[in-house]
Structure 1
Amino acid sequence: MSEAVRRVGIVGIGNVGKAAASAILHENIADELYISDIDTERAKGEAFDFADSIELTPSRTRVAEVPLAGLAVCDVILVAVTERKKVISDSRLELLKGSAAITYDIVPKLRKAGFKGKYVIATNPCDIITYLFYKLSGLPKNHVIGTGTALDSMRFRRLLSKAIGNVDPRSINAFMVGEHGDSQIAAWSHVTVGGQPLDQFEADNADVFPKINREEVEDAARHFGWEIHKRKGNTQFGIGNELAFFARSILNDARIVTAASVVQNGEYGQHDLAIGVPIVLGRNGVEKIIRYQLSEKEWEGFSASADLIKRYTTQTLEEHQEPAVN
């Protein structure tokens, strides 16, 4: 990673890419921001517009539109590409065919151009696309990171906060794990409030707050993205800022704990797939995968989610004549 000039690239400058770019520029996360899109004129226009906005802020990030190969000099590339199609359900899996085709197009080109940094992937279905990036990029598995259930976990904490009297969500430790999709689960057995296990917190405050309807909260966290999408046609600011957060955490060696979709090598009993779990995020990308001892019910849900991801991953690899997942 460059110590002198911190460079972040964004491939795909649609709604999510623009939100990520705005956060990076206005939070002064990088010294240089490179954006690339198949629509080069649009990308140039966005770069010009972002340059105008910087004049009104303390940020001095330099922004430029570049061809795809121009992203190879970056320390971190944020992936926000998507097939432009109408999403008709809350299942992100329906995006797989188009997203896989784009992945098989751009990753070999970036590999040929010599990219050796970190990928952070928001393109859906995130877990499967993250694994494809790993397979095609030639990079170590800790350098390829999907946003996975990071945003879902943030939503989960916010919903829990509301249920227990608006305790600051940052004082709540809680994660959604598994697929960034309909099969994800809440790791209830590891939820704490101010370090106190949730079960104990509820017991101590039974006369103040009603008992949490866990099924209702978990389901709301699982489908919150669709609630946004069906009202405005997309999600952008939450996931855009999540991408910027990942870039900042890597560049600053934050070693912060977050959920992410990462390639498994025996952790959680899984091999050769990417799935959402808690990690330590820092300069080396995935510094550590945090292994939760899930309850029996949680293990069942997590395993079912992993099986779903593996089935679709294997199918996609076979369609593109890649070796199947073991």
Structure 2
Amino acid sequence: MLIKKSKVAVVGCGLVGSSTAFSLVTQGVCDEILMIDINEERALGEVMDLRDTIKYLDRNVKVKAGTYSDCSDVDIIVITAGAPPKAGQTRLDTLGASAKIAKSIVEPVMASGFDGIFVVVSNPVDMVAYFVYKLSGLPKSQVIGTGTSLDTSRLQNFIAEMVNVDPRSVYAYSMGEHGDSQMVPWSTVTIAGKPFYDIIQDNKEIVGDVDLDDIVLKTAREGWEIYNRKGTTYYGIASACVGIIKAVLYDENKIIPVSTLLEGEYGQQDIYAGVPCILNRTGVADVLEIHMTEEELQRFRYSADLLHEYTDKIMEYL
């Protein structure tokens, strides 16, 4: 009997890619990690550094440098390579450059015989994930964008700080674009089963006057707050990415808001958007279609309209 080893490839050895690999190694998520970068010496340097951690960890994760031709037997490929926005730009301003980089990765990967799952991190992630889906020819379940997984973590942190609870006890989703147009269906937010609206009403002395739109704005802009202080973000998105990878490799059926193809859900067609999804070894097993108020649906539609506009633009590079 041949026991198959779990294998993850990380394409792009910048701060996000290396942080993702570090989290995979320290958590012992898979058997083997393949590091790939256009700068082969950089990839090799990351491999050498990561190997030095094994002595003090619980599992001997094999870390190697590789190329796209080595991806035929990889289970999950993480695409972190992209064109980061400069000061004054938005994620959407990097559309063309990110599309060209994605194309330079996906075409040789697919030529290797790859039939696993792509996890797309590169921004603008919703459009790039759609682009990878179209370019690869893989089923939609096998192309996952990190979407609003990180935004949801930020949202839960803000809510938890407000009422002084563990953020893991907060059940809330940021949805739509991973960007400025994202929205929060507040009518579905709960803390340990209690609706957030009731918590606001019952705890005026603790929470005071709550501006829900301000919380959404803070959530959407938190990445820029980090960027302005340290130049980029990587720990949060790396952790979100590894959470997605674990849900897939461990067949968890875990619900995480990721970017996936909508085919009628929430009234939308033919875009990738951040929505709660059930993740298991098939990738996106199902989209969780939560009930929203009409106002919330309108906000989601606004975000979706923007995603449609920029999805059309990125397809010009196909």
Pair in the same fold by TM > 0.5: yes
Q: 1:6 to 1:314 in 2, by over 3 A?
A: same
In structure 2, distance between residues paired with 1:315 and 1:150 = 24
User: Residue 119 of structure 1 aligns to a residue in which SS?
Assistant: strand
Please, what TM-score do these two structures have when normalized by structure 2? Answer: 0.96
8 Å CA contact 2:85–2:94 kept in 1: the answer is no
CA deviation string 1:24-45 (max 9, x = no partner): 0011000000110000111011
1:92 counterpart = 2:85:
no
Question: What stretches of structure 2 of length at least 5 have no aligned partner?
Answer: none
Report 1:237-316 matches (<5 A): 237-316=235-314
Say which is worse superposed, 54-63 or 258-267, in terms of deviation. 54-63
- Residue 90 of structure 1, CA deviation: 5.7
Question: In structure 1, what is the equivalent of residue 65 of structure 2?
Answer: 65
Report 1:38-49 matches (<5 A): 38-49=38-49
Please, what TM-score do these two structures have when normalized by structure 1? Answer: 0.94
Report 1:8-157 matches (<5 A): 8-83=8-83, 87-89=86-88, 91-157=90-156
In structure 2, distance between residues paired with 1:225 and 1:175 = 17
8 Å CA contact 1:78–1:121 kept in 2: the answer is yes
8 Å CA contact 2:256–2:278 kept in 1: the answer is yes
In structure 1, distance between residues paired with 2:155 and 2:229 = 20
In structure 2, distance between residues paired with 1:285 and 1:90 = 32
- Residue 316 of structure 1, CA deviation: 1.9
Letter in structure 1 aligned against 2:73: V
Letter in structure 1 aligned against 2:124: P
User: Residue 177 of structure 1 aligns to a residue in which SS?
Assistant: coil
- Residue 205 of structure 1, CA deviation: 2.4
* Percent identity for Structure 1 against Structure 2: 36
Question: In structure 1, what is the equivalent of residue 225 of structure 2?
Answer: 227
In structure 2, distance between residues paired with 1:114 and 1:269 = 35
Question: In structure 2, what is the equivalent of residue 202 of structure 1?
Answer: 200
CA deviation string 1:265-305 (max 9, x = no partner): 11111111100011111111111101022222211111111
8 Å CA contact 2:85–2:91 kept in 1: the answer is no
In structure 2, distance between residues paired with 1:86 and 1:201 = 38
- Residue 103 of structure 1, CA deviation: 1.2
8 Å CA contact 1:90–1:226 kept in 2: the answer is no
In structure 2, distance between residues paired with 1:249 and 1:265 = 23
Letter in structure 2 aligned against 1:255: N
Question: What stretches of structure 1 of length at least 5 have no aligned partner?
Answer: none
8 Å CA contact 1:163–1:212 kept in 2: the answer is no
8 Å CA contact 1:37–1:68 kept in 2: the answer is no
8 Å CA contact 1:77–1:117 kept in 2: the answer is yes
Letter in structure 2 aligned against 1:275: A
RMSD between superposed Cα atoms in Å: 1.4
8 Å CA contact 2:79–2:118 kept in 1: the answer is yes
8 Å CA contact 2:172–2:189 kept in 1: the answer is yes
In structure 2, distance between residues paired with 1:315 and 1:204 = 47
Letter in structure 2 aligned against 1:29: V
Count of paired positions? 317
In structure 1, distance between residues paired with 2:64 and 2:216 = 41
Question: In structure 2, what is the equivalent of residue 161 of structure 1?
Answer: 160
User: Residue 278 of structure 1 aligns to a residue in which SS?
Assistant: strand
In structure 1, distance between residues paired with 2:302 and 2:213 = 17
In structure 1, distance between residues paired with 2:201 and 2:158 = 19
8 Å CA contact 2:277–2:286 kept in 1: the answer is yes
- Residue 111 of structure 1, CA deviation: 1.1
Letter in structure 2 aligned against 1:31: D
CA deviation string 1:90-125 (max 9, x = no partner): 621011111000112211211111111111111000
Letter in structure 2 aligned against 1:140: P
